[in-house]
Chain A
Amino acid sequence: MGFFDKLKAGLEKTRKSFTEKIEQLVIGYATIEDELLDDLEAVLLSADVGVPTTTKLMTEIRSGIKSKQINSPDDLKPFLQEKINTMLLSKHYAEATQYAPPVVMLIVGVNGVGKTTTIGKLANYYHEAGKRVLIAAADTFRAAAIDQLEIWGQRTGSEIIKHAEGSDPAAVAFDAVQAAKARKVDIVIIDTAGRLHTKANLMEELKKINRVIAKEVPAAPHETLLILDATTGQNAINQAKLFGEAVALTGVVLTKLDGTAKGGVVIAINNELSLPVKWIGVGEGVNDLRPFDAAEFAAALFADK
């Protein structure tokens, strides 16, 4: 199965709750009525698009009706698709690998979003692209996090730098960056412990990691990726804001987008934060993490059966 098919399959549920609902809605009405618009709003909200972004889309639809761009219920879906397309496509971003090696990537996020698994998949992606990858096991807090990462290191042929459980994560990051320079590694990926964005002391710990690696490699970390669980609701916006205040985020990785997730939060994140979604995870396989392609995503979201 190609990635597009996988993405389509992964978004099957989203499509069902989203596109198909819109289609069914449209069939049920001969003319555009307030009730139809209310139902449409409900479809957006139930896909985790969130209140502000839904309000924005609904306003655009209403003005589309006024300006006669939308004349019948049949016009609603293409209109909405175009608006969401523009929302997703309006942001453009650079690849991390354009920097001189070692490129340092810092991975952050709340507990249980899939940081360690994502790192395994990222390492695999870059390894297959012919890069030499080093992973820093700086999640020294969660029980067996280091073991979990080591297994991923073996699977993907990546080197790993680790300290004992409970040691200073900044020290692990420092060692990793130094080792990367000495061993001429292309990419360093730093795992961090999951932390709730409301814990000030843990946010300080992230800042410290940042400071320490910036001292070793100027401009590092080149990428600071926030991992978000696609099943998360509107709290995702809070997470992005508060993590962003602690460390300068360069993008988002959306995980667990397969099957269950609504994925509407992608649209919300694009609209409410000027933070690009860079990677998405659509399955448990090692190859199921890919760079996010807005056009592909929008196409899969609105794809016909």
Chain B
Amino acid sequence: MVFESLADKLQQTFKKLRGKGKLSESDVAEALKEVRMALLEADVNFKVVKDLVAKIKERAIGQEVLESLTPAQHVIKIVNEELTNLMGGTQSRIAIASRPPTVIMLVGLQGAGKTTTAGKLAHLLKRQGKQPLMVAADVYRPAAIKQLEVLGEQLEIPVFTMGQDNPVNIAKKAVDQALMMARDIVIIDTAGRLHINEDLMNELKSIKQTVKPHEILLVVDAMTGQDAVNVAESFNNDLGLDGIILTKLDGDARGGAALSIKAVTGLPIKFAGMGEKLDALEAFHPDRMASRILGMGDVLSLIEKAESAISLEKAQEMQKKLRKEDFTLDDFLEQIEQVRKLGPLDQILGMLPGMGKLKGLQGLDIDNKEVKHIIAIIRSMTSKERRDPAVINGSRRKRIALGSGTRVQDVNRLLKQFGEAKKMMKRLKDMQKSGKKSNFKLPFMN
């Protein structure tokens, strides 16, 4: 990616200091300059950055850093903690009214993703056993009403429309309609507007006064720049928001806007849009957002993904086999398939810390096709061949290549790779035997 991860940058900064033994105030200042840049590059508002850096400096200078064995890791840890603090706890809940219907109003700038989010939110609530009604109150954008109607059809959720009528009127009638239809949730999709457009902001105020929504949620594009703070502040001042929904978080935006909004308004970020499909609205994880802003990869998400895809028993079995050295091509195949269950390889690599930098290098394109070929080759082998690759002679190689639709060279390469992998495992084992502990550690993990 474009940005080097902060972790990498800090490592470099502290490399220069190696052998010095002590960290002075100016050393810390150097590191904090990198922190500041990383936060600004992530679109965190510069005022928020200023406050944060001051706070981190206070904590970093002095004992804490001196005591730490790896200063870079320690500074990152402090930064991460401060960011996580600032992001606050999770609060991905919609306050349900004691007397239905619960009225939810979605507001935001043009193109933030309000209409799509309305559909996603309705779908989420429907899955929780609610009966939502969606309301098309965006009467300005061409075909916005149609868009909501199409979403309603796809989700089998009713949509209330009144053409290009007055939005205040539409909202009022919609709530009446919900009462009659016994729908317990009303989601009002409003037109996108600039926060400085007084007429349109007044329209929202009237809707608020008329239907008294239980939740007014601001829909914010995760890619928004420095202006995010002003947008959130003025919507909040005018309407009194209850929370934020962050959209388009499935891209590579660092999402500094989220941090800025939280820091300035104190509003909880309730949900995050993670994809184009209608079920891609997820709970928001503040701690993960902190790592993401720093460009440290989403280790937690990866661990969670791995846990759900790979069964514990299989992993233990595999470990045993590795130790006993009877690792066969069958196991190799199984391993590949387990990893593939996690998703596209480049996506997985993107979640690992430090990989953000590697991805920028040309040529490190993880080729999914090649993985498919490997699987095809192994599947074209007999079980005897898989257990003992030594028996694979020339004619067997030809047969395997033919069976898997590859060339003999491909089969040769795979066998060679497998042989090397086995050798490496043996070496690793010997190393462990001789008592050398591996000192592989993830950065900033306690």
A-side residues, CB < 8 A to B, are 13, 42, 45-48, 50-51, 110-114, 141-145, 147-148, 150-152, 165, 196-198, 200, 229, 231-239, 241, 256, 258-262, 265
Q: Nearest Cβ in chain A — how far from B297, in angstroms?
A: 14
Known contacts A151-B142, A229-B221; is-contact A235 B227 (Cβ 8 Å): no
Kindly state whether residue B81 has any CB partner on chain A within 8 Å.
Answer: no
Of all chain A residues, the one with the shortest Cβ separation from B36 is A51
Q: Is the CB of B45 within 8 A of A46?
A: yes
- Contact B196–A232 (Cβ < 8 Å): no
**Measured CA separation A235–B146 after assembly (Å):** 31
* 11 extra interface residue pairs, beta carbon distance < 8 Å, beyond A142-B147, A229-B111, A234-B43: A110-B223, A111-B248, A112-B113, A112-B221, A114-B111, A165-B150, A231-B227, A233-B43, A238-B2, A259-B194, A262-B227
Neighbouring A residues of B221 by C-beta, 8 Å: 112, 229, 231-232
List residues of chain B with CB within 8 A of the CB of A261. 227
Bound CA span A151–B148, Å: 16
The interface centre, meaning the residue of B37, B46, B112, B253 with most chain A CB atoms within 10 A of its CB, is B253
In contact, A231 and B252 (Cβ under 8 angstroms): no
**A260: chain B residues within 8 A (beta carbon):** 109, 194-196, 227, 230-231
Given A196-B250, A235-B252, are A42 and B223 neighbors across the interface (CB < 8 Å)?
A: no
A256–B109 CA distance with the chains assembled, in angstroms:
10
Q: With A142-B147, A232-B225, A234-B225 known to touch, is A114 a contact of B43 (CB < 8 Å)?
A: no
Q: Which of B144, B197, B223 has the most CB of A within 10 A?
A: B223
Contact across chains for A48 and B226 when beta carbons are under 8 A apart:
yes
Main secondary structure of the interface of A (DSSP, over half): loop
Q: Given A48-B225, A110-B223: A231 and B109 within 8 A (CB)?
A: yes
B246 within 8 A of A: no
Is B276 in the interface zone, CB < 8 Å from A? yes
- 1/0 contact trace for B111-142 toward A, CB 8 Å? 11100100000000000000000000000011
CA distance A233 to B146 in the complex (A): 31
Cβ-defined contact, B224 with A232, below 8 A:
yes
Q: In residues 387-427 of chain B, which contact A (Cβ within 8 Å)?
A: none
The residue that B194 contacts in the complex, of A144, A151, A258, with Cβ under 8 A, is A258
CB-CB < 8 A to B196: which residues of A? 13, 259-260
* Chain A positions within 8 Å of B248 at CB level: 110-112, 196
B290 to chain A, nearest CB (A): 18
A-B contact count (CB 8 A): 140
Using Cβ atoms and an 8 Å threshold, which residues of chain B touch A234?
Answer: 41-43, 225, 254
Instruction: Tell me if A144 and B346 are in contact (CB < 8 A).
Output: no
Which 9 interchain pairs have the tightest Cβ spacing? Answer: A233-B225, A112-B111, A233-B43, A143-B150, A148-B143, A144-B147, A144-B146, A147-B143, A151-B142
Contacts of B276 in A (CB 8 A): 111, 141
- CB contacts (< 8 Å) of A145 on chain B: these are 143, 147
Chain B residues within an 8 Å CB radius of A265: 225
**C-alpha gap A13/B194 in the complex (Å):** 12
Measured as residues with beta carbon below 8 angstroms from the partner, the interface class of chain B is 35 or more
CA distance A51 to B39 in the complex (A): 10
Q: Are A152 and B225 in contact (CB under 8 A)?
A: no
A251 to chain B, nearest CB (A): 20
- Chain B residue nearest in CB terms to A201: B344
Bound CA–CA A87/B284 (angstroms): 40
Distance in Å from the Cβ of A226 to the closest Cβ of chain B? Answer: 14
- The reply on B12 being an interface residue by CB < 8 A is no
How far in angstroms is the closest Cβ of chain A from B426?
A: 37
**Chain B residues with CB under 8 A of A262:** 225-227
Q: Would you call A259 and B197 a contact (CB within 8 A)?
A: yes
Which residue of chain A has its CB nearest to the CB of B2?
Answer: A238
Does B40 reach chain A (CB closer than 8 Å)? yes
Is B170 an interface position by the 8 A CB rule? no
> Contacting B141 at CB < 8 Å: which of A148, A235, A239, A256?
A148
Cα–Cα, bound, A112→B253 (Å): 15
| Chain B min CB distance to A261 (Å) | 7
Q: Is the CB of A42 within 8 A of B46?
A: yes
- Which residues of B lie under 8 Å from residue A112 when comparing CB positions? 110-113, 221, 247-248
Q: A112-B111, A231-B221, A259-B196 are in contact. Are A237 and B2 (CB under 8 A)?
A: yes
- Which residues of B from 77 to 108 have beta carbons under 8 Å from A? none
On chain B, the residues within 8 Å of A114 by CB distance are 110-111
Q: Which of B32-76 contact A (CB under 8 A)?
A: 37, 40-43, 45-47, 50
Q: Can you show 23 pairs from A to B with CB atoms below 8 A apart? A: A45-B40, A46-B45, A46-B47, A48-B226, A51-B40, A111-B113, A143-B147, A144-B146, A144-B149, A151-B143, A197-B251, A197-B252, A198-B250, A200-B344, A231-B227, A231-B231, A232-B224, A233-B223, A233-B253, A236-B223, A237-B2, A259-B197, A260-B196
Q: How far is the CB of B3 from chain A (nearest CB, A)?
A: 8
Task: Look across to chain A and name the residue whose beta carbon is closest to the beta carbon of B365.
Answer: A200
* Interface status of B151 (Cβ within 8 A of chain A): yes
B contact residues around A237 at 8 Å (CB): 2
Q: In whole angstroms, what is the CA distance A237 to B256 when docked?
A: 15
| Max chain B Cβ within 10 angstroms of own Cβ: one of A45, A198, A233 | A233
